[in-house]
Amino acid sequence: MEEKVMKLNSKAVHTGDRKRSPSGWTPVTTPIHTATGYIYNDMDELDRVFAKETPGPSYSRYGNPTSDALEELVADLESGAGALACSSGMAALHMAINTALIDRRRVVLAAKLLYGATLGMLAKIFEPAGVEIVYADFDDENEVAEAIAEHRPGAIVMETIANPLLRVPALDRIAKMANDAKAPLIVDNTFATPMLIRPLEHGAAMSVHSLTKYLSGHGDVLGGAVIADAEHIDALRNLSRTLGFTLGPFESYLVMRGIKTFPLRMERQCANACRVASWLSTHPSVERVYFPADPKHPDADNIKRLFPAGLWGAMVSFEVRGADRAVIFRMMNALKMVVPATSLGDVHTMMLYPAMASHRELSPKHRERLGIKDNLVRLSVGIEATEDIIADLDQALNH
C-alpha cells in the first residue's frame, strides 16, 4: 500500500523528531546535542563518516544531530531534497547565492524590490567580489525575460511577497524562465511561508527563510535556512562545511519547538491581518493600504493562482496621510500594545518604519524610486484579539 503523505500541519508537529537511539529508547522530542565532536567505536567507521559514505556526525561545523532534525523538518515543509540551517536569514541567502554561482556565470539578476539588507549584500558584498548585479522589475515579466536574455545570469533572486510593498510576482512563470536559461532561481519565502506557497514545487532551485520570523515565531531565536532541490543540496552542504555559517543546537531546538505551532499561528495571523487591513482602509488618517487580499491589488491574478484561498499572509503596509518622519515617530511612540520593533512574524503584532529600519541603508531617492515613501509603515500582525490590535492602532493614529 502506498504511504500517505502527511499534510503540512502534521509535518510541522512530527517531521524530524523521535529518532531511535542505539539502545532502543526514543526521546519524544529532539534533544539538544551540544558536543562539537563525536567518537566512534573504531577509526574505520569515523573515516567512513568523514567521507560521507556512512551517515553520522563528526564535527559540528559539518553537522549536528539537533540541527539535522531541523533541516529534515524544514525540507519536508518546503518539499525540498534537503536543507541547511544557518546562523541567520542573511547567512542563508549568502549561502544560497554562493551555491548557485558555483561553476556558473558570476551574474545575478535580482528583483528591484527586495529587503534592504538583501540589496545591501548584493551591492556591498557580491558586487565588490566581482559579481555583476543586474536589477529588473519582477512585476513585469517581459522585463525579466529581456534581462535574462541580455545578461545570461548565473542566478536569479526574488521574494515571494516583496518587502515592504507586498507585491507578488509570477513566481511560477519566472521559475520557468529561469529553468529554461539554466539559472537557479533563489526565492526568499520568509513573508509567505510554506503555508502560502512552496517555491520548489513551482520550479525554484532554492527557498530561503529567516527562521527568526514566522517559523520560530516567538522573537527568541536568530536563524535562517536554505531548502534546496536535488541538484543543489550537495553543493550547498559542501560549501557549508568550509564556510561554517551553521546554526547552533540550542537555536535549532527552539526553531523546531516553534514550528510545531507555526500552522496554527499562521492561520490566525492571516485572518487577523485581513480584518486589520480592511479596517485600516476605512480610517481617515490612512492614505493607502498594501495587502494581498485587496481585489484591486496589482498582482491579484498571481495571488489567486499561487496562494491558497483565504490565506494572504500576515503583513500589512500602509501610508499615513500627510505624515513625515516626525509624525510617524509620534504615532509609533503612542502605541501601547503593538510593539514598535525591528522584526516580523512574532506572536505579537509589530510595527516597523522601513525608512528607518529595513530600508535605512537605501538613499531617500532610491526608496522613492521603489515606492517606499516616508509616510509608509509596515505591520506584522500577531495572534492577539483583533479588536485589541485595532483599538491600539486607532488611538495611535489619532494621537
Is the model's pLDDT at 2 over the cut of 70?
no
Average pLDDT over residues 139-163: 98
Bridge-based pairing state of the strands 286-290 and 206-210: unpaired
Average pLDDT over residues 151-170: 97
Three-class HEC string of 321-334: CCCCHHHHHHHHHC
Nearest to 213 by CA among 341, 362, 95: 341
Look up 213 and say whether it is catalytic. yes
Distance CA 197, CA 201 (A): 8
Better-predicted residue by pLDDT, 21 or 251: 251
The x, y and z cell numbers of residue 130, run together, are 566581482
Is the model's pLDDT at 20 over the cut of 80?
no
Distance CA 234, CA 293 (A): 38
Show the DSSP H helices in 260-354 as ranges: 262-280, 300-306, 325-333
Residue 148 identity = I
Run of H or E including 378: strand 376-380
Look up 172 and say whether it is catalytic. no
List the domain boundaries for the chain: 8-259, 262-397
Q: Which region, left, alpha or beta, applies to residue 52 given φ > 0 means left and ψ of -120 to 50 means alpha?
A: left
Q: Which of 115, 253, 290, 353 is catalytic?
A: 115
Q: Which of 139, 188, 229, 346 is catalytic?
A: 188
Longest dimension (CA), the chain: 73
With H, G, I as helix, E, B as strand and everything else as coil, classify residue 397: helix
pLDDT of residue 1: 43
Q: Which of 48, 52, 61, 104 is catalytic?
A: 61
pLDDT digit string, tens, across residues 286-329: 999 999 999 999 999 999 999 999 999 999 999 999 999 999 99
pTM of the model: 0.95
Backbone angles phi, psi at 126, to 5 degrees: -75, -45
Q: What is the CATH number of domain 262-397?
A: 3.90.1150.10
With H, G, I as helix, E, B as strand and everything else as coil, classify residue 166: coil
Run of H or E including 96: helix 89-100
Look up 296 and say whether it is catalytic. no
Look up 176 and say whether it is catalytic. no
User: What topology does CATH give the domain 8-259?
Assistant: Aspartate Aminotransferase; domain 2 (3.40.640)
Residue 228 · residue 98 · CB < 8 Å: no
Distance CA 246, CA 131 (A): 24
Residue 139 · residue 160 · CB < 8 Å: no
Run of H or E including 177: helix 171-180
